Each structure stands twice: as structure tokens, then as C-alpha cells.
Structure 1
């Protein structure tokens, strides 16, 4: 077991363990849904703060000594430091988040060079046409994925071999570059993702229940959310696509497929920190047997508290 998985703040522990505090034993799906939304929002804290910073600085004046792009770099770095100091992220997780940062920055350098999108001018904290804060948007995705593992105590069944997922993920990443000169393999890669992860199921500890969902469904949902966040970021003038240069327009829905493919690389990177655990893995160290936090029983077994019984 990886110790960092259980390094929760008191609030996170309460979110994950499903503390009673005024609630009866038989909460309905409304409570489960509310807890799910709260946990998801808390897991996406980094990304949410980055979007807030972009919106707040949308009307930042030009001509100031500190350019908006440089201010965004400083604020993004401050958010990252605060996440570490408050133990919302662990040093081990930071390594994979920094890898997200690096992988994203490399793609940004290439994509801006070929004109796929562009950042506003200004600032000295940049590499070529890419301000350094852009990498933090990818880091925010990594932050969400490592934190959601802890908050939802994620378990998996039917997970494909690591070497196979790595081949598909690397293929998806390389295609983001090569499709500018070679045939675009986007849809064959989408099919490959569907085949490789088709049997994989995610066991999600919400509040009192463990629910199952196809891993592919989570890929689609996260891709849609990132696409919506991208619309907010471009509206705030963080970067612009060619069709947004004259007036802002929604990001083309086709970008959802791009984020869907990028999810494969994200998942593989996160498995370096949190290797997928089966539903019958040993309990987390902060879960006490016989309590609502004890959700480590194999899905589908009988016995124990009602909170541990899985629903479909």
C-alpha cells in the first residue's frame, strides 16, 4: 500500500469516510449525489482556482510593469505551493503532477508553433510563444486525478496490462504531433481505447455506497468537463483558437475527442503513483472495520455494514 494515499486533511477524511453528523442511516440518492458533487469539486480545486484566476484577471490592464502572463505564472506557482503546504498534495504526487506540466508544455510549444492556438503577447516568463503558466493547466488535470483517487478510494476491476495502456497512451500523444503531416489516427485510437479499457470497471466510494461505472464513461465525462473548462479559459482570454481571434466563440466540440485521448496518457501517468487496486484490496489505514469508512470488501460480497454494500 502507498502511504500517500491515506494522507488526508481532516476535511478530506470527513468527505471520504462519510461522517454521520446529523444524518440518518438511510440517506437517499440525493445525499449521495450531493456528496459526489462536493468531492468532485474538492478534487478539482487546483483547476477551479486556475479558472478563477483567469477570469479575475480577464480585464487586467495592458502596459503595467508586471504583465498579465507573468502575474498568472506567479499566481499559479502560489496555488501549487499552497496545495503542498496544506497537504492537499503529497511530494510523491507532485512528481507526477510536474510530469503533467512537462508533457503539456512540450505539446504547447509545438501546437503554438504550428498555429493551432495562440497566447496573448506580453511577459518575460515564457518559452517562445508559450507563457509558463500554461503548463499549470495540465498540472491541474494531474492534481485532480491523483486527488480523486484518495477522496473516492477508487478501486478497479478488469484493468488492462500496464504495457498495453502505455502503448495506446503514447500512440495518442504522438498523434497530436504527427497528424499535421501524416494521416490523423484519432478515431482508430479512440477505438483502441474502447477495446483496451472496454472491460474495466471503476468502484467509486461516494458516501455510504460503492457504485460501479465503466472506466470509459469516466474518460468521456472528464473530457467533457475539461472541454467546458477550456471554454471558460478562452472566454477569459487565456489563449485563443483561430476562430476566436476576432470574437470569442465556443471551442469546437471536436476537441472533446482530443481530451478523451489525452485521458489515456493522464491515466497511465497516475498509475505510476497509484497502481490500480482491485475491489478486494486491503482497507485503507484510516478505515476502521465495521464503520462506514470500511469499504474494502470485495464488491458483491455480503456482510458488514449497509454502507459497504455496492450498488449497480
Structure 2
């Protein structure tokens, strides 16, 4: 059985609101998990290249670290019922602090608040994108401080892929979603998208689309989704299959089902293609109004083999 015992909460002092904190406190109480609150601080004047003398650099660095520790401590005062640790890392970027922490210890979930992103955020390796690509644990991006209202979890999979990597990530997504759904007694829904083949054939006008090809593809995805649903005890009326780009289909279904949480996988594209194209998980974050958990094949959250 998958357990969520250790949660890392990323708090950014540059942001006026810490919308991930309330969600993390609620989850920790519900799951009987411990929390680690993490932030970072840094100043170029404290680096070796600074014109300040070594003693002054050390004093400034110590003062900044102490200020950040007091800031984190202010969040623990009213949560005496929980086991809470704090970590302040001397790092220029907060995603580097997260990765440093995860190199030293294991966490079952990383929680961070998020907001709208644009192309420049991706080009300049925004914190969220770095975490989605490189964090060796599932990442929950919190969109609002409001509590979950509808008790619905939506798991997004690529149901028909024969690739072992996609099958592994499907198991990771569904096992994680099922665990949360069982614990919170929520409705678990499954969504799967398939391409509009007519659009692909329209780009090659000399080739005609076979009759009923779209119907055939829909049936393939329907059969595959039913198999995954049986494996993870998802009701037949909670299966959603749609035509189109996955991020658009998932966003539409999330709105229609009033999902509180979307669980999606990421293959973590790198290089220029990853920057300009991204993947479904990264594009989806900006399209939905609910929390999103992003899981990678390397996260190791799949259930124990029977």
C-alpha cells in the first residue's frame, strides 16, 4: 500500500501568500504525516566574489539565515499537534534548495503554491518547471488556499500506450490517486484523451481517412480505460474519454466533474523541445483551477507487486 508519511512544503519569502501551507497542514493532519517547511535565502554580497571582507560576509549570511528561520518558525506556532521540521538553504533559486533537501532525505510528496506562467517563465527555467522535470518525488502544485469542496479526484492516463514507461506511469498515477481517494472517501474519476485522426489526415490530403476510423479509435481507448478502471476500482460512469489535445480534454473534464485534484504524469522533456513545447502536465497546470499532482516514472510510487 502506498503511504504518504513525509511531506516537504516549499515556502517562498518573495511571495506575500503561502497558499500551499494550509493544504499541507490539512493533508498532514488527515494522513498522519510529518511536515518539513523549506525556504531559501541568498545574497550576492555574501559570496566569495563580493567586495565585503570575510567577517562581514559571514555576519550578513548568518543574519539572513536566522531571519529566514524565524520566518519559518512563525508558521509552526499554531500547529503544535503536528511534527514539523524547518529547513533554510543557502541557495539562489528555491528549486535548487528543494533538490538539495531531497538529496539528503526522502519525501513522499512535495507541495508548492503556483500561479499563472508564461513563455518567459519556461525559457528562464521557472521554479515550477524545474521541479516538474527534476524533483525525485511527486509534486503537488496548489492553485488556491480554498479547501477541497467537491471530494473528486481526477486521474489522467494514456490508456492505450504499449510502451512500458507509459504503463508504469499509468500505474503510478492511478495508485497515487486511488490512495488519496480511498483515504478521503472521494470520488475517483479517470480521463483519457485520443487524437483527432481527421486532423492528421487533413495534413496529408493525398491520403484518405478509412471509414469509421475515429469510432474504431474511440472503442480502443474505451476498452483500455475499462481495464485500467477495473484494476483500480473506478466506477464505469466515472470514465471520461474525449477527442483532442490531452491538456484541453483534461481541463474540460476537470471543470465538468468539479475536480478538486488532478493527478497527471510527466515524462519530463528536456532541451529546447521541452522549453517550447512542454508536456501535458506542464500545460495543464495553467488550464485548470484546481490542485495538480505531477508524477514521473522515476518517482517510485507504484504499489507493491502482488
TM-score band (shorter)?
under 0.3
| Greater strand proportion | 2
The structure having more radius of gyration, on CA atoms, is 2
| Greater helix proportion | 1
| TM-score, structure 1 normalization | 0.26
| TM-score, structure 2 normalization | 0.26
Q: Which has the higher contact order (CA 8 A, sep 6+)?
A: 1
